[in-house]
A and B are shown apart, each in its own frame.
Chain A
Amino acid sequence: MPMGHTATAEAGSGGLTATEHRLANGLRVVLSEDHLTPVAAVCLWYDVGSRHEVEGRTGLAHLFEHLMFQGSKQVHGNGHFELVQGAGGSLNGTTSFERTNYFETMPAHQLELALWLEADRMGSLLAALDDESMENQRDVVKNERRQRYDNVPYGTAFEKLTALAYPEGHPYHHTPIGSMADLDAATLEDARNFFRTYYAPNNAVLSVVGDIDPEQTLAWVEKYFGSIPGHDGKPAPRDGALPEVIGEQLREVVVEDVPARALMAAYRLPEDGTRACDAADLALTVLGGGESSRLHNRLVRRDRTAVAAGFGLLRLAGAPSLGWLDVKTSGGVEVPAIEAAVDEELVRFAAEGPTAEEMERAQAQLEREWLDRLGTVAGRADELCRFAVLFGDPQLALTAVDRVLDITADEVREVAAARLRADNRAVLVYEPVENEADGADEAGDAADRDDAEGADQ
């Protein structure tokens, strides 16, 4: 084993445990105890995302997520936000391709309130849903779209890349934010039907993590969620399977008011949950993660042709994952020069694979990311739900880091050779209009804006 190192004395699960339960109505429940801090995280994943949307109704899953904060039978208007924040908690919801999640992090003694709130809207949202909140949140979401995508340079890059990488009609062809026209077209009845179809206890996983008494917690879950009827009317999502490689290089050139030329590309990669996906993660980290990656060293340090250069991975379980290249050019550098250098690096990597030292670095970085994610109760609750919803087993969250550390350099080289090829990418080139005047992390569109405050120049 060349890579025997681990950051913690106890690798992988780090001593964390989780238990699983299922209510009679089909709600799956995952509990994980941790008494370090008197806080408890509640996380609820509904197995519905933008991939379930139909033509003409893109953005509906996310718009609906906003409506979940507009009250239910026993909770008036903004009561959900008011009650959680008034209890010293924090909360939000986000929508991605494959799921919609809702979460509250509470002082431990306020846990029961969060469970009551989530149950109330799971069981009785339609008692409160009306035209007024529909019209209001439609406007809010359209402003979210403007703020995060339409009014910032390169803001729609991710939308364009996914539209290129996943063919017309594919469930991942459009992103969760949806189009303005479809947001305008959504009706109250669409929202009601969406709720009736997807918001059922047997289409959800609830995790509770932190300073909890598992027995008491389970009793509360049974009390509040137990009587919500399950139903099986959910249609299977459209098949997201695609050939392993695109088979040609797709390309779009955008001439827009952007501050610099940019080269972006989306590579079709193995599905999440596979060894090959973990290997791809390591490949992208060696090539384009952090300040010691091959692309950073080549383009930013040595050639000095780029302001920033990196790779990101969007893990997807129901369709090929996406490896996302993002290079912003320096000064007057032209895109072909960048492209040639990127290709040279990719070809060499596919032939030689990572060095032992690069493997060690990449594994240390990904291990550290896992420590961060599992290091907070909210992060752990979200990961437990993720593995339960997407892969049927929450325990896999606690051993994910072991699987990354188990990947060999050969596997990394193999996946790079098979996938990081010119005939397996969609390329997006930005050319500024005339002279001169960050791509967003697309994991989710959230109910509330990011609270990060500040006014730095």
Chain B
Amino acid sequence: MTDTTESLTSMDFHPRPEAGVAKPWAFPAPERGTLDNGLTVLRCHRPGQQVVAVEIFVDAPLDAEPEGLDGVATIMARALSEGTTERGAEEFAAELERCGATLDAHADHPGVRVSLEVPVSRLPKALGLVSEALISPAFDADEVKRLVDNRLDEIPHEAANPGRRAAKQLYKELFPASTRMSRPRQGTEETVRAIDAGAVRAFYDAHVRPAATTAVVVGDLTGVDLDEVLAGTLGGWSGKPAAPRPMPPITADDTGRVVIVDRPGAVQTQLLIGRIGPDRHDAVWAAQVLGVYCLGGTLTSRLDAVLREEKGYTYGVRAFGQVLRSDGEGHGASMLAISGSIDTPHTGPALDDLWKVLRTLAEGGLTDAERDVAVQNLVGVAPLKYETAASVAATLSDQVEQHLPDDYQARLYARLAETGTVEATAAVVSAFPVDRLVTVLVGDAAEIEEPVRALGIGEVTVVS
């Protein structure tokens, strides 16, 4: 085409530019303190961040939920913002939104997290409301019943979502049925139905107290007397001292096998392949982060290079490590997983390719070039990733709930830069051994069962 030729030649081409001189950047170091009531505070001034983020972590883990009441931590977390002894649920929500604030509260294995974001000028007001919620929640019987019913309504939506359905099955497969970790974080229909205001109040009384709480405050704090703000809010909370709760050991059965969750007529198969691995306290973590990125961190990583960019089987497959819980004593664990969606007819060939990618990696290892690009990305994106107050607060709060030192993230970047190709290879290969992976496939069993069996990647069972 003549037009084509014209557009190929009509601009001036220049050689690819070299990078300028990097400017120093470091993950922010918070200042740690304790209020008189035992509540821990981490604060961090971030110039220019007009929306302040407050992350509050309460050491009220899911394994503390009473037998048969899975989900009570979730209902309690949600009920915190549904009315206090001073104001009803509607007024509470209205007052928060009047501040331009957003509030989220949820329960996970390590504990309850309450996240507030608000323009700095309205921090005292909004933090006052959040404190009110923590100090004097109403837990009105009718409001709790509403939250229980609402939660029951959510469950079928989750079951219909392929990603959520796959996760539920994987946890059930990996962890012993007797452990909390094997069961849905927010409870099942049966357990949620059993929750009432009394159960919520009992969980609160047993676990929610200032001595078990850490608040992380990040943002542009110029002109804010944070000590005064805290004294007038969270500082007014009183409660008994809290003893740290011992964490139950985490074990998992990662015998290589395949579970197909039948979803007749599905045009894609949702895949989730996982097992458990070490937490961030383990010296291997940095190398594992690096190796897992090379395997499946982005669309130029090994998995997508084949499954997406060569074969077109998927919009994208990712590998990741996600800490489940840590106690800082070496008993923690993370979920190591590969997830993505494959069109139904290519499910067998895609899994075959995925296993080939893992085998090739185990046999030949990573290249130095792969390792270098990964380090440059993981370390280089830090200033972008931590531009907002919310992202800094979330990471600091993760460190708190995982019993990590406050400078963990800063040191992780240094560790990543020191980690070599051999170390990264060893870490990712031991993270994803081909015979120790539990594969969950949410898809059309009639279409995918036979091709998957033929792969010989483990015993195949079909559930509905």
Contact = CB atoms under 8 A, between A and B. Distances in A.
Contacts of B380: 87-89, 107, 110
A116 B387 contact: no
B333 to A, nearest CB: 13
Nearest to B21: A109
Interface in A129-151: 135-144, 146-148, 150-151
A150 B12 CA distance: 44
Contacts of A437: 156, 159-160
B154 A307 contact: yes
A192 B149 contact: no
A260 B158 CA distance: 11
B22 interface: yes
Contacts of A143: 268, 312-315, 341-343
B251 interface: no
Interface string A193-237: 000100000000000000100000000100110111100000000
A259 B160 contact: yes
B101 A368 contact: yes
B379 A7 contact: no
Contacts of A105: 384
Interface string B374-398: 0011011111100110000000000
Interface string B267-280: 11010101000000
A86 B298 CA distance: 11
A186 B103 CA distance: 46
> B-side binding surface: helix, strand, loop or mixed?
mixed
Interface stretch (A50-58, A166-174, A421-429, A448-456): A448-456
B162 A152 contact: yes
A437 B157 CA distance: 9
A332 to B, nearest CB: 11
Contacts of B259: none
Interface stretch (B31-39, B42-50, B129-137, B454-462): B42-50
Given A109-B22, A457-B185, A227 B11 contact: yes
B463 interface: no
Contacts of A228: 10-11
B400 interface: no
B247 interface: no
Residue from B266, B322, B380 with most neighbouring chain A CB atoms (10 Å): B380
Contacts of A111: 20
Interface residues of B, number: 104
A127 to B, nearest CB: 5
Contact of A368 (B119, B316, B382): B119
A322 to B, nearest CB: 24
A297 B92 CA distance: 12
Nearest to B373: A86
A320 B265 CA distance: 37
A36 B162 CA distance: 41
Interface centre among A105, A258, A259 (most CB of B within 10 A): A259
A368 B51 contact: yes
Interface of A: 7-9, 14, 34, 36-39, 73-74, 77-78, 81-83, 85-90, 105-113, 116, 119-120, 123-124, 126-127, 135-144, 146-148, 150-153, 192, 196, 211, 220, 223-224, 226-229, 257-260, 290-292, 297, 300-301, 304, 307, 328, 330-331, 357, 360-361, 364-365, 367-368, 371-372, 375-377, 436-437, 448-449, 451, 453-457
11 contacts: A37-B387, A89-B380, A107-B384, A109-B23, A123-B11, A143-B313, A196-B7, A257-B160, A291-B93, A360-B98, A448-B316
Given A119-B11, A147-B268, 18 more contacts: A7-B100, A37-B48, A37-B383, A38-B24, A39-B387, A81-B300, A82-B373, A88-B376, A88-B380, A108-B23, A110-B19, A126-B8, A139-B312, A140-B314, A143-B315, A147-B341, A192-B4, A437-B159
